[in-house]
Structure formats: C-alpha cells, structure tokens
Structure 1
Amino acid sequence: MAGLEIPAWDPETALLIGAILLEAIALYVGYGGLERVFGPYLMRLLIGGEASAQ
C-alpha cells in the first residue's frame, strides 16, 4: 500500500530534529524570561504610565 510505509530514520536526521527542538525550547524559555524582566519597563517607556503587574 502506498503511503503506509514507516520511513527509516537516519541518525543525522534524528539529531538535527532534536537540535532544532532543543533550540526552540531554549528560545521560548529565554524570550519568556526576557519579556518578564524587561516587559514592564519597556511598556512604561513606550506607552507611558504604569504597566499592570500580574
């Protein structure tokens, strides 16, 4: 049957996919931390007034 075959994984391909996933997780956590630290300051700077703390 066409389209139902299980592809053979090349170790290099699996390593590349793993590296991309780890990079995506690191960027997600890193940018989230930066937003948490600098977000209120930037909102006050750009908009003026107080940013609501949540």
Structure 2
Amino acid sequence: MIFGPVLWMTDLGLVVAGLIWLVRGGDGTSSQRKASGAQSELDMRFARGEIDS
C-alpha cells in the first residue's frame, strides 16, 4: 500500500527527466559543438585584427 505512491512518483520523475532530455537535444553535444565553433570564430577574428581584446 505504501509503495504505490512511491512507484508513481518514480515513474513521473522518469517521464519528466526523459522529456527534459529530449527537449535539450539528447546528449547535449550540439550545444558544445556550437560553443567551440563560436570560440574558434572569435579566435580567428582576433588573429586577423578585426576585434580587440
């Protein structure tokens, strides 16, 4: 009797965690790739003298 609500809360937590994982893009590598691409772009523009420090 007491384990019923605990199991429902666990199931609900897993569903919410799965939805968050899907919305954020799975494993998160796409956001890491964008960040490194942006950093390399800034490095190149700094090297060409287009921006100052």
TM-score, with structure 2 as normaliser: 0.50
Which portions of structure 1, spanning 4 or more consecutive aligned residues, are displaced by more than 2 angstroms?
38-41, 43-46
Unaligned runs of 5+ in 2: 38-53
Unaligned runs of 5+ in 1: 1-9, 49-54
User: Any residues of structure 2 matched to 1:8-27 within 5 Å, and which?
Assistant: 10=1, 12-27=2-17
Q: Which structure has the higher relative contact order (CA within 8 Å, separation 6+)?
A: 1
Confirm or deny that 1:45 pairs with 2:35: yes
* Aligned positions, number: 37
TM-score, with structure 1 as normaliser: 0.49
CA RMSD, Structure 1 to Structure 2 (Å) = 2.5
In the TM superposition, what is the alpha-carbon distance from 1:40 to its structure 2 partner?
2.5
Q: What SS does structure 1 have at the residue aligned with 2:24?
A: helix
- In structure 2, C-alpha distance between the alignment counterparts of 1:44 and 1:19, rounded to whole Å: 36
Question: How far does the alpha carbon of each residue in 1:1-54 deviate from its partner, in whole angstroms, 9 at most, with x for none?
Answer: xxxxxxxxx1x2100000000000000001111126x653323335x5xxxxxx
